[in-house]
Amino acid sequence: MVAATVRDVTDVCPLVKAAGLVKRFGPVEAVRGIDVEVRRGEAFGFLGPNGAGKSSTMRMIGCVSPRSGGELTVLGMDPDTDGARIRARLGVVPQEDNLDTELTVRQNLQVYGRYFGLSRAHLRAKAAELLEFAQLTDRADDEVDPLSGGMKRRLTIARSLVNDPDLLLLDEPTTGLDPQARHLLWDRLFRLKQSGVTLIITTHYMDEAEQLCDRLVVMNEGRIAAEGSPAELISRYSTREVLELRFPPGEQPPVEPFMDGMAERVEALPDRLLFYTADGEATLAAAHGKGLRPVSTLVRRSTLEDVFLHLTGRSLVE
């Protein structure tokens, strides 16, 4: 009865609740007062460029970095006083792999489970299951060092699941992986979500955020610039379509003459002009009418990349 009540409370309470959360490293203010709520069962994203404060936020949620200010509860507890109890129910994939290079693939899973106080018998079965999940069964007794980057990443993700966490923190899970490896990882993360695990993901890949996240915040310079589902953000901060015009180096025309009427908004990137518009083809015809002669043109759907450009005035992919 009591247990049921406790569970009901955690069911309705957000798994992570931050209010005015701040992280300072000496004079550097990495996180400058953010408000975040992550609900049970959702996949929540932190999207932002280098140095936005994503990892600093994740480390505070992971109870390995004390907050400098503001409020934070994780799984209904305070990291300052209940850090160990919270960590017992978290899975953490850090930005940089920190696998145990002195152990084999299988031992990495088993020994990590021992840190959670799980029994050897339980871990023998669990390791086999996770090796299968990470598609590393045939490498189980190999050393970790010679594994490819993608394999190491999968092993790190598998390791984070050894304690059947309620909440999984993934800091740039697919950075540095080739497209195939990324898709494999996305598939694994998607399955986890389906099985009810709450995910918090940081990324600077727009497609990743669109694929995986139910809700996300765009972070920039330690602050939250926008919040919503990918579709909401796109409809709020962008247009339905985007027309891209590429020009040869040095021949790109200034944007000013096209500001009026042709599109809702025009952005100039070093190598191209972006026209935000409801109808890309119509805008393209208008551009030709104005005498523009780009080397190539592209009409595409709006993405989070465009949201980001609008919110921060800079492109993520340099």
Ligand X SMILES: Nc1ncnc2c1ncn2[C@@H]1O[C@H](COP(=O)(O)OP(=O)(O)OP(=O)(O)O)[C@@H](O)[C@H]1O
Binding mask 39-68 for other proteins (x = CB under 8 A): -----------------------x-xxx--
Contact 200, 29 (CB under 8 A): no
Cβ closest to other proteins, residue 78 vs residue 227: 78
Residue 127 and residue 133: Cα distance in Å, rounded? 10
Q: In the complex, what is the shortest distance from the CB of residue 305 to ligand X, in angstroms, rounded to a whole number?
A: 15
Q: Kindly state the tokens that stand for 97.
A: 């792999």
Of the candidates 12, 84, 180, 254, which one interacts with other proteins according to CB under 8 A? Answer: 84
Q: How far apart are CA 154 and CA 204, in angstroms?
A: 19
Joined tokens for residue 10: 């955690």
Kindly determine how many residues on this chain lie close enough to bind other proteins according to the rule CB under 8 A.
Answer: 37
Residue 95 or 297: the one with the smaller Cβ distance to other proteins is 95
Q: Does 129 bind other proteins (CB under 8 A)?
A: no
Least Å distance between CB 88 and other proteins? Answer: 5
> In whole angstroms, how close is the CB of 96 to Mg ion at the nearest point?
9
CB 21 within 8 A of CB 31: yes
Which CB, 54 or 106, lies closer to Mg ion?
54
Of 55 and 163, the one with the shorter C-beta distance to ligand X is: 55
CA 257 vs CA 176, 274, 296: distances in Å: 40, 14, 20
Site residues (CB under 8 A) for other proteins, limited to 20-39: 25
User: Rounded to the nearest 10 degrees, what angle do helices 149-160 and 105-115 cross at?
Assistant: 30
Q: Could you tell me the two tokens for 295?
A: 């080397």
Contact window for other proteins (CB under 8 A) among 101-109, 131-139, 248-256, 295-303 = 101-109
* Length in residues, the chain: 318
Between 126 and 310, CB nearer to other proteins: 126
The binder of 180, among ligand X, other proteins, Mg ion, none, by C-beta within 5 to 8 A per type, is none
Q: Which one among 8, 19, 85, 257 touches other proteins, defined by CB under 8 A?
A: 85
36 phi and psi, to 5 degrees? -140, 145
Percentages helix, strand, coil for the chain, rounded to the nearest 5? Answer: 40, 25, 35
Chain centre to alpha carbon of residue 253 = 36
**Residue ranges in contact with other proteins by CB under 8 A:** 3, 7, 25, 62, 64-66, 80-85, 87-88, 90, 92, 94, 96, 98-103, 107, 111-112, 114-119, 122, 163-164
